[in-house]
Amino acid sequence: MIPSEINLLAKVKLLASRKNNLAYEASHLLPPAPTKLPLGQQVNQHLHKHNSLYRWTGIVTAILLFFTLGVIIGHSYYQGNGNFGLSKQNVYAQFLLEIYDTVKDNYWDKIDDKKLIKLYTLGVEKLTGQPQNTTPADRDELKQMLTGVIENISDQDKQKNLTVTLGNLVLANLSPFERSRLFTSKTEKELRDNVSNIDKTVDLYKTLGVDKNTPPDKIKQTYEQKVNELAKDKSPEAQKKLADAGRAFATLGRTDSKKFYDQSGAETTVLSRVIEPDIFYLQLKKISPQTFDEFQTVTAMVTDKPLTSLILDLRGNIGGAIDILPYFLGFFIGQDQYGYELFHQGEPEPFKTKTGWLPSLAKYKKVVVLIDGQTQSSAEVIAATIKKYNVGVVIGSTTKGWGTVENTFPLKTTIDPTENYSAFLVHSLTLRDDNQPIEGRGVNPTIKLSDKNWPEQLMTYYNYGPLAEAVKQIIAGK
């Protein structure tokens, strides 16, 4: 903790007082003079005899005064910004340069200085409405330009607003457009909640009209009553209530997912049902950290049923946590297999699976994966891997082509003592089964639903009519 200037000055006075006391105490150590000398001679004799003591006292006092003065000066420069040695003007430039360095070190592409500096220059021109006479040639000249622009603004709040807006503008204009951003601690928390499938705006218990202590059979009964009441009403409002009730029951209707929801607020990401005669339907709503455990739990629930076919529905899945894929993909392709690759600054980075075959999946000899134009991110990687290893037949339409992996990188430079910022940055690109980037291309299905004869095509892979009929029902929303 840095002491206040008042306390520091008090210490200086105290040190001076101690010096006087020290001199006073030293004078009492002198032996009585054998003869009384004139005052001038007494002083000279005293100084000569105790010259070392006074010299060291003066040195110590000078050092302490110098240190005290340095602390006071340092305190005045610090100014509560948490960035020693930076004025309020150039701390904002330092913040923008930290974003610059973060992009250079962590962005998926090897962006050159000229291109990145150009983004800063265009951003400054847009925000100030004034063209820059010259474009900075390097990072040092960029620092000079940013410092000059900020120092021309007298109001500190406007300095900060320009800094935050410019940083966000530079990140948003990196390719792919608007995929990178400047995050506050609040927006970063919202992102992590979204990935974890946590929606704090919804209370599933209130939606269903039950509470945490309601027994499982009562929860099911309440849900069925709501379905019977709302199914007859075809109005948009009734249909929304029906969908909301289904969403709530999907989580609260299973003991494991209800418990997890009570603990974390996260909804289930895995829905399932059996389609007669022997087909197990699994829908992955999102790829969240809990998906790995949920998938195992749900598939284990039907181990005693004589099922032979599996339909894995990835339609509308926006992806999420890519970190679980080395574990999740092992369920389908086995352990120590090349599950997928990421592309970062010119180099591919392969990821091997860390788990083996899931025993509860071994009985499924016929596997179908459904995708559509809203399947994206890590869900696209799952589809590409299953297609690459011929684990199942991928049916549907080309996926969205959102093939980026983003991460947050905390910024250390403090421009607001009440806020923490981070750069949300595209760190890598995902690659599909032919080693081309998923970004902008998507993953193509093995069988296109747009082909009128798609059921016949599926029959060439699995000569099993009930499976094709089950896919038809699912596509029709039944």
User: CATH number, domain at 361?
Assistant: 3.90.226.10
Average pLDDT, the chain: 86
Q: Tens digit of pLDDT for each residue in 354-393?
A: 999 999 999 999 999 999 999 999 999 999 999 999 999 9
Q: Is 341's pLDDT higher than 90?
A: yes
Instruction: Select the more confidently predicted residue: 84 or 214.
Output: 214
Q: How far apart are CA 332 and CA 295, in angstroms?
A: 12
**Exposed/middle/buried for residue 66 (C-beta within 10 Å: 0-12, 13-18, 19+):** exposed
Give the domain-ending residue among 120, 144, 174.
174
Domain extent, residue 332, equals 269-475
Q: Do 290 and 168 reside in the same domain of the chain?
A: no
- Same domain, yes or no, for 55 and 95? no
Residue 447: pLDDT band with limits 50, 70, 90:
very high
Residue 66 dihedral angles phi and psi, to the nearest 5°: -65, -45
| Sole residue written with tokens 């998906």 | 291
pLDDT of residue 165: 98
Residue pair 307/360 in contact (Cβ under 8 Å)? The answer is no
- Joined together, the tokens standing for residue 34 give 């054998």
pLDDT at residue 13 is higher than 80: no
Opening angle at CA 157, ends 152 and 161, nearest 5: 85
pLDDT at 35: 43
**Residue 185, domain member (yes or no):** no
Do residues 65 and 160 both lie within one domain? no
Q: What is the largest CA-CA distance in the chain?
A: 130
Percent of the chain residues past pLDDT 90, beyond the cut: 79
Backbone φ and ψ for 343, nearest 5 degrees, come out as: -120, 120
Top mean pLDDT of 10-14, 17-21, 444-448 is at 444-448
62 and 100 both lie in a single domain? no
Q: Is residue 37 part of a domain?
A: no
